Amino acid sequence: MASPSRSRATILAHHLYDFAECEHRVALDATLDRELRTPPDDAMALLLEHGQRFEREVVEPLGYPAVTVDHGDWDGAFARTRALMSEGVAGIDQAVLIDGARLARPDLLERAPGRSTLGEFHYIPGDVKSAKTTRSDAVFQVGFAALLLETVQGRRPETGFLILGDGRREELELGAIRCTVDDAVARTEEVARGEAATSPFFSPACARCRWRGTCLPRLEEARDLSFVHGVTRARRRVLLRHGVATIDALAAADVAALSAAGVPSDGLLRMRTQAKTLLDGQVLHHRPAGLPRGLKREFYLRLESDPLDRGEPFSIAWGEAAPLGAIDTARVAIVSTRDERAAALRELVDVLEASASRDEPIYTFGAGTAGAFDALAEELALEPARAGDLAGRFVDLAPWVRRAAVLPVFLYRFDEVAAVARHLPRPSAGQAEDALFVLHAGLAASEDPAAVRRILEAAGRDALESLRAIRAWFTS
């Protein structure tokens, strides 16, 4: 849902999207000059371009009349939207809805049966998202459009919809979340008007936030508690009330005294330990027993997918080794088409299903590889039993790392954990993980595509070495 800047608006649809990720972002949008924002990086520009292109591919074939905003005339666009609704058209592309200081621009409005002030019909809102799964922030945006529709048609629609990146239409029961949407709108308006205090907080969303150039330096200077993995906003508020305001203070805190003073003790000791590791850069091992091991061979698998949640990998890397040994066989396939993905999957399955390796573990890291493998197997119609057997051999090292040790990292992402396992510099806070996606997206237009492929292939081999180092780390 594209929502433009509009000086008289207290809340725009994108504020609901922002609010779901970080309410402080809404406050900064309302109080600071937007020219101070960090420019979109290459990855964000690609994501925006892809999202807009996908939206047009979905919406334009419907043939609905489109509402344009000429020279910033939002009131005129709103009047055009109302006129089309009064005519009873089947649908509207890029409608503009205004209610006082609220403005929304849903990708689609569609006519549905059910009486309203318009007649024996009313309109329901929908959005087009290139992601493959339904996210709460997208649902909030559709719910916000439904709220504004009530003023126009005298009826707040009970349903809405999302059209997702795989072409599915997800029906939304907006009536069931009406109170949640209303509360989110009210809270967002309070923040935008400066009636509710907010503060920056480090999270995975910082990597893509346009205000990261404002917030991250402030957080780093303050040695903020949000850099300590496990510290939530609520936890930080409690710790601040008890005089624990920095990473240093948490590292030196008396856990027993804090617990006696009313600080929830669940996870408090580990958070203090996490703070200590950030300060001294040392790893604290808890070395669990029982990590699955290979008898004769062990496999490593890393799939890199675009960040659109479509599940289509562009790099498929796998390697094998003797138990605890160096990788002696590695293959990295850079895949851009369905045929290339199919060929790579067949080759991978042949290796993993070979008689000598049929029961050996396949080491991965994080849910991304398993999800991408499932999507790949489904796209290419790999028999469910075979796909299930292979996925059943996956050993996700990420939860083992969390059980095994406390590391001097922020988010326990693959690149951070790999840096620890391989004794490399720690990635900076707020660093995005999509540099490879940007490289692959520019592959076709590159003046030297062979060089780009070599870089991507080298990155795949490096990821396999990182997996091997993480796996070997449990026995060091």
Instruction: Give the model's pLDDT for residue 289.
Output: 61
On the question of pLDDT at 15 being above 90, the answer is no
Identify the three-state secondary structure at position 326. Answer: coil
Contact 236, 225 (CB under 8 A): yes
On the question of pLDDT at 8 being above 60, the answer is no
Other C-beta atoms within 10 Å of 362: how many? 25
Tell me the average pLDDT across 239-260.
96
Instruction: Give the model's pLDDT for residue 135.
Output: 82
The DSSP symbol for 229 reads T
Cβ-count burial 323-347 (b if 16+ within 10 Å, e if not): eeeebeebbbbbbeeeeebbebbee
The strand ranges marked E within 68-222 are: 91-93, 97-99, 102-104, 108-116, 119-128, 159-163, 169-173
Instruction: Give the model's pLDDT for residue 34.
Output: 86
Contact 318, 449 (CB under 8 A): no
Phi/psi at 316 (5° precision): -125, 110
Other C-beta atoms within 10 Å of 154: how many? 12
Instruction: Give the model's pLDDT for residue 7.
Output: 43
Number of helices and strands in the chain (H, E)? 18, 15
Q: Which helix (H) or strand (E) holds 39?
A: none
Angstrom distance (rounded) from CA 318 to CA 390: 13
Instruction: Give the model's pLDDT for residue 369.
Output: 92
Instruction: Give the model's pLDDT for residue 2.
Output: 42
Tell me the average pLDDT across 163-179.
91
CA angle 36/8/93 to nearest 5° reads: 95
| Ranges 109-113, 309-313, 381-385: which has the least confidence | 309-313
Instruction: Give the model's pLDDT for residue 178.
Output: 94
Higher pLDDT, 11 or 304: 304
Instruction: Give the model's pLDDT for residue 287.
Output: 65
Model confidence at 93, pLDDT cuts 50, 70, 90, reads: very high
Residue-range domain boundaries for the chain: 11-192, 204-280, 286-476
Other C-beta atoms within 10 Å of 207: how many? 19
Q: What is the per-residue pLDDT across 121-164, written as a single tens digit (0 to 9) for each? A: 999 999 998 877 788 888 999 999 999 999 999 999 999 999 98
CATH architecture of 286-476: 2-Layer Sandwich (3.30)
On the question of pLDDT at 171 being above 50, the answer is yes
Contact 30, 19 (CB under 8 A): no
